[in-house]
Structure 1
């Protein structure tokens, strides 16, 4: 006979798998430049603390397909996003994940990008589906007074 604790643990593991699939599918959508697929994982009230200005994007501003497609257009070929050190904590209705991510590819001007960043994602279960409600991405900066991003760090 299965106990309530065993059922709950099995459910949490299944939720973690589903959330990992959401995160992986968003990375794949970026590689394939599929803005609709990327944004489909976001809740309508999505808030994004992105690497790019402004300080935050909220709701429709954060779900702007044309803006995302315009960003994709600044790249030549695939934009690879590799998620590493992914940690997921899931409750019944709310979850969060954090990871260290590598983005690499070639910008339209030929500049080769290899950028490590940190990401934290908040999710809610909406109608039985895990949707991203908040994302925060960051790059460490040098604490020497220069304010420069520390782009040479690796995990």
Structure 2
């Protein structure tokens, strides 16, 4: 299973490299064609690889500079044909209006082995919220686990 986990880590690393380079194809090369994405902004869901590419392009076009993008505190759990990964994702960037964006969010990514290769079939991103005011808690930072 270590080889399988290493393959999934390669997918994660490709996503990070792709986002940092604003390379949509690199960042999405390991998504399945019928992937379902639950993103941290609306709408509630995106269906299909083309929708994920479009969403990523929209997001990256709002960023003038990406200082850092990372996926860490990674937990990978693998069986023969299904896997999932939990992580804390971080972006440090400046948007096209000159505003700083420095936030963390949680992500769970599901994988299926399709034609011998791991593909992302579902990704769910979220941020916790304050139940007293209903506002997202985007200023939180994770503890370093790995």
Structure 1 counterpart of 2:138: 151
How far has the Cα of 1:79 moved from its partner? 5.8
Normalising by structure 1, we get a TM-score of: 0.86
Q: Which runs of no fewer than 5 residues in structure 2 stay unpaired? A: none
Q: Which moved more, 1:128-137 or 1:78-87?
A: 78-87
- Which protein is bigger by CA-based radius of gyration? 1
| Equivalent-residue separation in structure 2 for 1:79 and 1:22 (angstroms) | 21
CA RMSD of aligned residues (A): 1.4
Normalising by structure 2, we get a TM-score of: 0.91
Aligned length: 142
Describe the superposition over 1:68-113 as per-residue Cα deviations: whole angstroms up to 9, x where unpaired.
3232111112263211210000111110000111111111111111
Q: Which runs of no fewer than 5 residues in structure 1 stay unpaired? A: 1-11
Q: How does 1:2-151 map to 2 (within 5 A)?
A: 12-59=1-48, 62-63=51-52, 65-78=53-66, 80-144=68-132, 146-151=133-138
